[in-house]
Chains A and B, each alone.
Chain A
Amino acid sequence: GQQLNQSPQSMFIQEGEDVSMNCTSSSIFNTWLWYKQEPGEGPVLLIALYKAGELTSNGRLTAQFGITRKDSFLNISASIPSDVGIYFCAGRAQGGSEKLVFGKGTKLTVNP
C-alpha cells in the first residue's frame, strides 16, 4: 500500500529557532495536508495544499507542495513553547479517492 515517510521522528529545539520537517511518498498525491495534534486532542488541520509547487502560509507556518507531487515540507519560524505537539502530514492520492494516507508524525519539543 501507499506509504508516507515523515522525518524527523522527533525534534528538540530552543524557543526562537526555526523548524523544518518533511514527508515523501512513493506515489503521486494530489493533496497534501499538515495537521498538529496536542496531547489528549484530535489532529487539527494547519495547512492544505492542492497544487504542485504551491507555497502556503498560516502565521509562522509555511508549507509547500513539492513539484514532483511526491513530497511536502512544513516550516515553523521563530518557535514558541505552544508549538509543542505532534505534526502529521497526510496525502490524498490521485484517482478521486477520499482516503488519506498519514505519516507517522514528528514530535516537536520546544525548550523555553
Chain B
Amino acid sequence: EAQVTQNPRYLITVTGKKLTVTCSQNMNHEYMSWYRQDPGLGLRQIYYSMNVEVTDKGDVPEGYKVSRKEKRNFPLILESPSPNQTSLYFCASSFGVGEGEQYFGPGTRLTVT
C-alpha cells in the first residue's frame, strides 16, 4: 500500500531533550516536506527536500533540522525542543516539482513541557 508513515504518533517530552520524528514514504517520491499545524494558523511548512541531499527552509524553520540521506526517509530533528514547538506535525511527499499532489502522513502530536 502506497503511504507516508511517521513515528512516533504521539510524544510528550521535556524542554531541551533532543528528539527525532521519522518520516518514510514507499512511493519513490522525490519531494518531501514537513509541516506543523496549529489552531488558527493552519498548515505551515517547516522544511522541504527536492531530492536526496537537497533540503531547504520553509516558512517556519527555526528550531528544526532535517536530513535527506535516502530518498524514502526525511527525519525531523528538534535539537533542543521548547514549549512553543508543541504542535501537530505532518510529513508529506510528492513525485517532484510541479508533478502531482502531496500525500500526507498520519501526523505526530508533540507536547513539550
Asked if B106 and A42 sit within 8 Å, CB to CB, the answer is yes
Asked if B59 and A1 sit within 8 Å, CB to CB, the answer is yes
A42-B104, A45-B101, A96-B98 given; A102·B90 CB < 8 A: no
B35's closest neighbor in chain A, by CB? Answer: A102
Asked if B107 and A42 sit within 8 Å, CB to CB, the answer is yes
In this assembly, does A52 line the interface, its C-beta being within 8 Å of a C-beta of chain B? Answer: no
- CA gap between A102 and B103 in the complex, in Å: 14
- CA gap between A97 and B98 in the complex, in Å: 6
Stretch binding the partner chain, chosen from B38-46, B65-73, B75-83: B38-46
In this assembly, does B48 line the interface, its C-beta being within 8 Å of a C-beta of chain A? Answer: yes
Closest CB in chain A relative to B67 CB, distance in Å = 19
Closest CB in chain A relative to B66 CB, distance in Å = 15
- CA gap between A99 and B43 in the complex, in Å: 12
- Residues of B close to A40: CB separation below 8 A: 106-107
In this assembly, does A66 line the interface, its C-beta being within 8 Å of a C-beta of chain B? Answer: no
Asked if B42 and A100 sit within 8 Å, CB to CB, the answer is no
The contact string, 1 if C-beta is below 8 Å from chain A, for chain B 1-43, is 0001000000000000000000000000001010000001111
- Residues of B close to A1: CB separation below 8 A: 59
The contact string, 1 if C-beta is below 8 Å from chain B, for chain A 69-83, is 000000000000000
- Pick the contact of B42: A41, A48, A103 (CB < 8 A): A103
- CA gap between A42 and B92 in the complex, in Å: 9
In this assembly, does A31 line the interface, its C-beta being within 8 Å of a C-beta of chain B? Answer: yes
Would you give 5 A-B contacts (Cβ < 8 Å), ordered by A?
Answer: A42-B4, A43-B90, A99-B45, A99-B48, A104-B40
Which B positions have Cβ atoms within 8 angstroms of A?
4, 31, 33, 40-43, 45, 48, 50, 58-59, 90, 92, 94, 96-98, 100-107
Which A positions have Cβ atoms within 8 angstroms of B?
1, 30-31, 33, 35, 40-45, 48, 88, 90, 92, 96-100, 102-105
